[in-house]
Chains A and B, each alone.
Chain A
Amino acid sequence: MLNSDKVVLSPLFRKRIQNLHDNKISINNMKIEKLGSIDIDDHGFIYYDNFKFEPKTNHKCGYVYGSKAIGENFREFLNQIPTYINMNSALATCWIGTIDNWVKVGIIPEDKMPDFEAVCKEYKITQSGFGAMNHLGPDIKIGLELGWDGLLEKVRYYRNIHNPIDTSFYDGEEQLLLGIKEWILRHSKYARELAEKEKDELLKKNFTEIAEMNEWLVENPPRNLREACQFIAHFQAVDRTYFAGGALGQLDEILRPYYEKDISEGILTDEQAVWYVASLFFNDTHYSQIAGLTPDGSRDMTSRMSFIILDAMHYIHIPINIALRVHDNVNKELLRRSLEYTVSDGTGVDYSLNVGCEEGYAKNGFPVQVGRLRAKVGCNWTALPGTEYPLQDVTRCNMPIALVKAIEDIKKMKKPSIENLWEQFTYHLKVMLDCIKEGHDGHYEVVSRNTPEIVLNLFMHGPIERGLNAAEGGVDNNSLCIDGIGLATVADSFAAIEQRIINEQRITWNDLFDALDSNYKKNEYLRLMMKNINRFGSPDSIAEKWAIRVKDFFVEYAKKPTPKYHLKIIPGMFSHGDVFAYGKLTPATPNGRFNNEQISHSNDPDPGFARGLDTFAASLKATAVAKTQPGLGNSSPLQLDVDYGMMNTENGINALISLIHTHNHMGGTLINLNCLSKEQLMAAHEDPSKYPDLVVRVTGYSAFFSSLSKEYRQQVVDRFLSN
C-alpha cells in the first residue's frame, strides 16, 4: 500500500525550509534591484555584481568557439566563481549567471547565413532556432551511475579508443569535467572552513556533512539520496551556466532507488528527504516530471518519492517547475494533493497529459512505449531523456506576420477577397516555415563546431561513445520543433473579415485597409466592431473554424522535413511569455488589435472571448485548445487562471480533476494552472513589493509575480479578470 501521508516536519526542518524560502525572497529582491524586472523563468542563480572574468578567446571577433576553447574557458570560469553554501540548505554550490554574460559564445560570423538572416529580418523571425542551445533532455542517471570522475574516465576512454585526428571534442569535455571536479573540491574545502568556524552544533554538523559529501563526489558516484541530490545540484548549476536550458527528468524515478535504499538501511527519514529535495529546488528551478505510465503502460510510476517531491514543493513555496504526467490511472491521491497545494499556494505543478503527448508522439512513427518515456522537462516541452535532440522552445513562427503581409498583397488587388487573403497568408506562412527549416539545416551544419552541447553531451546516450555532438548524430533521434504562435490573432482576424465584410457587409475592404494603415486612429468604432465578434473560444464560431483551418495548414506544412538534410520536424504551438515581444513587431491586425499590442498566446483564445449568451468557462477554453492541438506530441498548453473562492471547495477540486482528465481525453497536452484571489492579485499588481512571495505560472514557467515587468503582470491579470 503506497504511503501517501503528508510529511510532517519537525521544528528544525520546518525552520530550515522556511529560511530557504525567506532567503530566496531576499535573493530575488536583490536581483530585481540590480537587474530590473525578469520576465523569463525564475532561475536559481545568485547574483554577484562584482564578479569579473576574462575569457581566452580564439576568434578575431572575440568569440570563444569550439569544444576545446569552450571547455578550457568553462574550466577556468568554474575555478574562479565564488563558492556558495547556504547554511539552511542540505547542498552546496550555486550558479551565478549564464556564461555568455562574460564570454562571447555563439555562431562565429563566418558560419552565419546572410540570405537566411535577411528573410528572418523581413519576416521578423527573431527566434529561428539557428544557433539555439540547451533545449534537450538529459538522462541524469548516466551521471548518477558514473559520478563526475566516472564521466571523465568515459571521455578519456573513448578518446583513446577512437583516437580521432581532431581530439577537440573530447578535449573540451575533459576540460569541463576537470573544472567541475575542481569546483566541487573548492566547495568541500569551503564547507570544512565553515564547519571549523561554526559554533552552533547543528550548523557545524551540516557543514561537515556537506564537506564530506562533496569530497566523496569529486571522485565517486552518489551512494545515497543526499549525495544524489548534491550531484543533481552540481549538474543544475553547470547546466544553467551553459545557455540556461533547465531540463532535468523523471525526478521521482531518478531519486526513488536512493530513497528506498536509505529508508531500508535506516539512515533517512521522510522529513530529511523533503529537506534534500527542497534544497535542490532552492539550488535551481530545473524542469522535472513526476508520475506517469511505465514504458510498457502496465502501471503508474507514482511512488512515495512522488509525494515527498510534492511536499517539498509545498513547504518551500518558491517558483518550481514540476509537471505531473496524467493518465487514466494516475494515482488519485497524488493528483488531488497537487491540486490542494495549487489552491492553497496559488500555483503548483503543471499537468502533462499522456494522450496528447504520448499517443501524439507515436503518430510520428515512434512506438507509443517510447512516447511514454518523453518527459516534460521544459516550460512547455517534452523530450526523451538522453536520446533525443528536439531543439524545443527556441523557434517561433509568428503567424500574424504572414497575415499582415497577406493583407499588404491583397490591397493591391482590384477585388480583394477572403480566398485571396487565405492564399497569400499561406504563401507567406510557407516562406516563414521554409526559412526556419533552412535555418535548421544550417544549424545542423555549423552548431557543433561553434557551440557543442558540452554539458548535456555527457548525459546523452551516444555523444561520448561516438565522439559526436548531440546535434550532429551524437543521438539517434533528431526531431526538431517549430512552434507556431498567435493562432487566435489570425483566426479572429479572418473571422472578423468574414463576418463584418463578407456576411454582414457592414464595412468594405477599403474601410479595413484604411483603419489598419492608421492603426485604427479615429476609427475606434470599426476596431471594436472587428474585435467584438464571437471570437475563437466561442463554441461553433466562425473563428473556431478558422483556427482549425490555420492550425491544420501550419501542421501539415511545418512537418515536412528540412530541404537539405531531411531532418524531421514536429510542430507545436507555444509562445512562451513572448506575446509582448512579438506584439511589438507586429502591425495592427483585423481582429481589432493595435500595432505593438501583444499577440495571442500559443493556441489559447484571447481573453474576453465569451459573448452573448455564453459567459466564460474553463471548459470552453479547454475545448478550444484541445481542438487546435497540433496532435503530434509537442505541447500546446491550456492556460487556466481560476478563482480561489470558487476552487477552495471539495466541488472545486473535483471539477479540476474532471477537467484535467477530460482535456487529456480530448488530446490536450499540457495544463498550466494558477489559483488566485482577485483582491490579492490586484493588490500585488499595484505594488508587487508588498507580495514578494506570490508565485505565478506565467505561461509554462513559474516566477515570482514581483519579478515580472508591469506588462507581464498585466498578462496574468487580464487572463484572470476575463475569466
Chain B
Amino acid sequence: MTEGRIFNIQRFSIHDGPGIRTTVFFKGCNLRCEWCHNPESFYCGKQIEIHPNNCIGCGKCFQICPNKAHYIDESGNHRIDRQKCVGCGKCANVCFSNTLIAVGQTINVESLMKSILTDLDYYKSSGGGVTFSGGESMLQIEFLKEVLTECKRQKIHTAVDTAGAVQWRNFEKILDVTDLFLYDLKAADAEIHKKLTGVDNGTIIDNLKKLSEARAEIIIRIPYVVGLNDDQIEGISDIIEPLNISKVEVLPYHKLGNSKYKALEINNKSPELEIPSDQMIEEAVKILRSKNINAIKA
C-alpha cells in the first residue's frame, strides 16, 4: 500500500476551503518562501524539534542517540548537532517532557483515511471536507492521488492547497478527484518570485492557466508580506484577470511560525517582518476588485 509522509492533521479548519475541514499537512516542499510559517514542511524527512525550556535533564536522549547528536552548549542549553542528527526519532521516543518532538510520520492510505473519517459528520453538516496542504502535497503525487480517490469514494469534498511548482502531469493525475484547488500566487515578477521563494514562477503560472482551461474550481491565495511582495498585487491581478477563478483571498502575513524555526534550529530569514494593517489588505483587495476579480481579505 502506498505511503506518504505527513506532519500534521488539523481538524476543524475553517480557512482552508468551505465548511469544516480536516487539513492534512504533507512534508516536503520545493519552495523556500521567506515568510513561511511551516518550516517543518521544507524537508521531506523526519526531523526533531527541540524545546529546551521543557527539558527535565533526564539524559535519556543522550543515552539512546546512536550518533551522539545531543549536547549542552556553552550557555547550558540542550542542543542538537544537526550535522549528526539523522532524524531517527529514538530520542523523541524516550522524551516525555515535550522537549524533543519528532516531526514527520510515514502513514498509509488506510490509516490516514481512518483519521479523516473521524470528522465525517462535521463535513456533512457544514459542507466541508478535506484539504491537502503542507509543504507541497503534490510532490507525493501517487499517495495523494490514492487518498483523494478514497475520499471521493466516501463522498468527501476534496481540496488541494498547492504552490503549483510541479509538472502538469501531476495535476492531470488528480484533476478528476479534486473538487477545489487552493492555488498560491506570491509574486508576478519572475525574478522577485525567485528571490522570495527560491524558484521562478513560470511553471506556476502555466499550470494555473491550464487549470483554468480545464475548468477546475480554483481559489487563489495571495500571502501579503510587507516589504517583500506587497508591490506585486497589480501584477498578480493581471495574471488572474483573464482566468476562471472563483475567488481570490489575500492572506495577511502572521508570525505564528517563528517559534518553529527556533525549535528546528533553521535560519529564519525574515523574523522581524511587519504584520500588515487592515488598510494595506483592503488596498490590495481594492486593486484586485478594480479588475473585476472576486477578492476578499482572508
**Is A518 engaged at the interface, CB distance under 8 Å to the other chain?**
no
A618 to B96, CA, bound (A): 24
**Is B239 engaged at the interface, CB distance under 8 Å to the other chain?**
no
**Is A202 engaged at the interface, CB distance under 8 Å to the other chain?**
no
Residue on B with the closest CB to A623? Answer: B118
**Is B9 engaged at the interface, CB distance under 8 Å to the other chain?**
yes
Task: Kindly identify, within residues 55 to 80 of chain B, every residue whose CB is under 8 Å from any CB belonging to chain A.
Answer: 56, 58, 60
**Are B12 and A524 within 8 A (Cβ)?**
no
**Chain B 75-108 interface mask (CB, 8 Å, partner A; 1/0):** 0000000000000000000001110000001010
**Is A449 engaged at the interface, CB distance under 8 Å to the other chain?**
no
**Is A587 engaged at the interface, CB distance under 8 Å to the other chain?**
no
**Is B126 engaged at the interface, CB distance under 8 Å to the other chain?**
yes
A617 to B13, CA, bound (A): 8
**Given A539-B115, A613-B9, A658-B125 in contact, is the A525-B96 Cβ separation under 8 Å?**
yes
- Measured between beta carbons, the chain A residues less than 8 angstroms from B56 are 524-525, 528
**Are B121 and A617 within 8 A (Cβ)?**
no
Task: Kindly identify, within residues 523 to 577 of chain A, every residue whose CB is under 8 Å from any CB belonging to chain B.
Answer: 524-525, 528-529, 531-532, 539-540
**Is B29 engaged at the interface, CB distance under 8 Å to the other chain?**
no
**Are A613 and B14 within 8 A (Cβ)?**
no
Q: Which of B9, B107, B118, B126 is the one whose CB lies under 8 Å from A655? A: B126
Residue on A with the closest CB to B107? Answer: A613
A465 to chain B, nearest CB (A): 46
A618 to B14, CA, bound (A): 11
**Given A617-B12, A619-B20, A651-B15 in contact, is the A532-B118 Cβ separation under 8 Å?**
no
A524 to B6, CA, bound (A): 31
**Are A613 and B125 within 8 A (Cβ)?**
no
Q: Which of A524, A613, A662 is the one whose CB lies under 8 Å from B105? A: A613
**Are B58 and A613 within 8 A (Cβ)?**
no
**Are B9 and A540 within 8 A (Cβ)?**
no
**Is A652 engaged at the interface, CB distance under 8 Å to the other chain?**
yes
**Is A665 engaged at the interface, CB distance under 8 Å to the other chain?**
yes
Residue on B with the closest CB to A612? Answer: B105
Could you say which interface size class chain B belongs to? 20 to 34
Task: Kindly identify, within residues 21 to 68 of chain B, every residue whose CB is under 8 Å from any CB belonging to chain A.
Answer: 56, 58, 60
A655 to chain B, nearest CB (A): 5
**Chain A 657-674 interface mask (CB, 8 Å, partner B; 1/0):** 011011001100000000
Q: Which of A529, A623, A652 is the one whose CB lies under 8 Å from B14? A: A652
- Measured between beta carbons, the chain A residues less than 8 angstroms from B10 are 615, 617
**Are A539 and B118 within 8 A (Cβ)?**
yes
**Given A615-B9, A619-B12 in contact, is the A658-B105 Cβ separation under 8 Å?**
no
**Chain A 499-542 interface mask (CB, 8 Å, partner B; 1/0):** 00000000000000000000000001100110110000001100
**Chain B 1-23 interface mask (CB, 8 Å, partner A; 1/0):** 00000111111101100011000
**Given A613-B8, A613-B115 in contact, is the A529-B122 Cβ separation under 8 Å?**
no
**Are A655 and B14 within 8 A (Cβ)?**
yes
A497 to B162, CA, bound (A): 43
**Is B169 engaged at the interface, CB distance under 8 Å to the other chain?**
no
**Chain A 617-633 interface mask (CB, 8 Å, partner B; 1/0):** 11110010000000000
**Is B150 engaged at the interface, CB distance under 8 Å to the other chain?**
no
Q: Which of B11, B96, B98 is the one whose CB lies under 8 Å from A614? A: B11
**Are A659 and B9 within 8 A (Cβ)?**
no
- Measured between beta carbons, the chain A residues less than 8 angstroms from B58 are 524-525
**Are A651 and B115 within 8 A (Cβ)?**
no
**Are B118 and A662 within 8 A (Cβ)?**
no
**Chain A 394-435 interface mask (CB, 8 Å, partner B; 1/0):** 000000000000000000000000000000000000000000
B256 to chain A, nearest CB (A): 11
A617 to B10, CA, bound (A): 7
**Are B8 and A540 within 8 A (Cβ)?**
no
**Is B114 engaged at the interface, CB distance under 8 Å to the other chain?**
yes
Residue on A with the closest CB to B11? Answer: A617
A296 to chain B, nearest CB (A): 26
Residue on B with the closest CB to A615? Answer: B10
**Is B119 engaged at the interface, CB distance under 8 Å to the other chain?**
yes
Secondary structure at chain A's binding surface: helix, strand, loop or mixed? helix
**Are A658 and B122 within 8 A (Cβ)?**
yes
- Measured between beta carbons, the chain B residues less than 8 angstroms from A614 are 9, 11, 115
Task: Kindly identify, within residues 85 to 117 of chain A, every residue whose CB is under 8 Å from any CB belonging to chain B.
Answer: none
A623 to B9, CA, bound (A): 16
Could you say which interface size class chain A belongs to? 20 to 34
A617 to B60, CA, bound (A): 31
- Measured between beta carbons, the chain A residues less than 8 angstroms from B125 are 658, 661-662, 665
**Given A525-B58, A612-B105, A646-B14 in contact, is the A619-B9 Cβ separation under 8 Å?**
no
A601 to chain B, nearest CB (A): 20
**Is A654 engaged at the interface, CB distance under 8 Å to the other chain?**
yes
Residue on A with the closest CB to B15? Answer: A651
Residue on A with the closest CB to B56? Answer: A524
**Are B8 and A658 within 8 A (Cβ)?**
no
- Measured between beta carbons, the chain B residues less than 8 angstroms from A665 are 121, 125
Residue on A with the closest CB to B254? Answer: A645
**Are B126 and A654 within 8 A (Cβ)?**
yes
**Are A532 and B96 within 8 A (Cβ)?**
yes
A654 to B14, CA, bound (A): 9
**Are A619 and B14 within 8 A (Cβ)?**
no
B40 to chain A, nearest CB (A): 12
- Measured between beta carbons, the chain B residues less than 8 angstroms from A539 are 115, 118
**Are A531 and B96 within 8 A (Cβ)?**
yes
- Measured between beta carbons, the chain B residues less than 8 angstroms from A540 are 114, 118
- Measured between beta carbons, the chain A residues less than 8 angstroms from B96 are 525, 528-529, 531-532
A560 to chain B, nearest CB (A): 33
Residue on B with the closest CB to A530? Answer: B96
**Are B122 and A662 within 8 A (Cβ)?**
yes
A344 to chain B, nearest CB (A): 18
Q: Which of A532, A615, A646 is the one whose CB lies under 8 Å from B98? A: A532
- Measured between beta carbons, the chain B residues less than 8 angstroms from A651 are 14-15
**Are B7 and A659 within 8 A (Cβ)?**
no
**Are A666 and B15 within 8 A (Cβ)?**
no
A326 to B114, CA, bound (A): 30
**Are B115 and A525 within 8 A (Cβ)?**
no
A144 to B122, CA, bound (A): 43
**Are B122 and A659 within 8 A (Cβ)?**
yes
Residue on A with the closest CB to B115? Answer: A539
- Measured between beta carbons, the chain B residues less than 8 angstroms from A615 are 8-11
Residue in B10, B20, B60, B119 whose Cβ sees the most chain A Cβ within 10 Å: B20
Q: What are 17 A-B pairs at a CB distance below 8 A?
A: A524-B56, A524-B58, A532-B96, A532-B97, A539-B115, A539-B118, A613-B115, A614-B9, A617-B12, A617-B119, A619-B12, A623-B119, A646-B14, A658-B19, A658-B122, A658-B126, A665-B125
Tell me the B residues contacting A by CB distance below 8 Å. Answer: 6-12, 14-15, 19-20, 56, 58, 60, 96-98, 105, 107, 114-115, 118-119, 121-122, 125-126, 128
Complex A-B, nearest 6 residue pairs according to Cβ-Cβ distance, in ascending order = A658-B126, A617-B11, A617-B12, A528-B96, A651-B14, A529-B96
Identify 20 new A-B residue pairs, CB closer than 8 A, beyond the known A528-B96, A615-B9, A662-B126. A524-B97, A525-B60, A528-B97, A529-B96, A532-B98, A539-B115, A540-B114, A617-B10, A617-B12, A617-B119, A619-B122, A623-B118, A654-B14, A654-B19, A655-B19, A655-B126, A659-B12, A659-B122, A662-B125, A665-B121
